[in-house]
Structure 1
Amino acid sequence: MTHWFRSYWTEEDTWFHFEVDADGWVTRQVELQGPLEKPIAAASLAEWQAAQAAGTLADYEKVFGATAEVPVHEWDGYEPHDLIVKEFESVWLAARTACQAGARNRSTSGA
């Protein structure tokens, strides 16, 4: 069963929002950094795997970042705050839009 939660990492001043499958693997992940909660990642495991297979992983990660590489039951030191799917989807859509806009701005500015 899929579930959604968020957790705050103080040392990175970042809220992490996760969609996790029944086996504990992160299928989608959003990272919001700083007091303004700037989206810095909005990655999908399925997209990441497709980009890896296509040889475009570096390009994907530049725009969307990556998901956690180990299942959540292996994590230490996090405090999950449950979300409902609607809450996650709202954050997901906003972060995806921001990441894509940031990538477009970087490509038009030559960065």
Structure 2
Amino acid sequence: MRCYWDEEDTWFYFEVDAEGWVTRQVELEGPELIPVAAASLAEWQRARDAGHLDEYDSRFGVTAELPVSEWEGHDPEQLTFEEFEEAWACARRQIMSRLI
């Protein structure tokens, strides 16, 4: 699914599990759709367990902390798996290229 937040001119792309928890999240800002986050809950948990959470957060961001069923005031568009994967892959590539 994806949602647009006009106050920040940001598109949010979400992959959610069967219980509604966000497993991966992409954030694209501005008219250029610049990736500012491409976070995976599983990666975040591994980084936390390894003591590298600050590093992960600063590079990739975080996923939403509540399941989508508890969100207020959003009107998500449904995406196909392929549409999400395309946004995810592009965002990760761009974020990773900044680290070099």
Task: Note whether the superposition's TM-score is higher than 0.5.
Answer: yes
1:51-96 Cα distance to aligned partner (Å, 9 max, x none): 0010000111111110001111110111100100000000000000
In our comparison, the structure showing a higher alpha carbon Rg is 1
Runs of 4+ in structure 1 deviating by more than 4 angstroms, as ranges, are none
- Cα distance between partner residues in 2 of 1:101 and 1:76: 34
Give 1:24's aligned amino acid.
G
Partner of residue 52, structure 1: 48
C-alpha RMSD of matched pairs (Å): 0.6
Partner of residue 73, structure 1: 69
Q: Structure 2: give runs of 5+ residues left out of the alignment.
A: none
Where do 1:1-111 residues align within 5 Å? 5-104=1-100
Structure 2 length normalisation: TM-score? 0.97
- Cα distance between partner residues in 2 of 1:103 and 1:58: 15
Using the aligned pairs only, state the percent identity. 58
SS class of match (2:31): coil
Q: Structure 1: give runs of 5+ residues left out of the alignment.
A: 105-111
Q: Judging by fraction of residues, say which structure has more helix.
A: 1
**Length, aligned pairs only:** 100
Structure 1 length normalisation: TM-score? 0.88
1:12-68 Cα distance to aligned partner (Å, 9 max, x none): 110000000010100000000001110000000000000001000011111111000
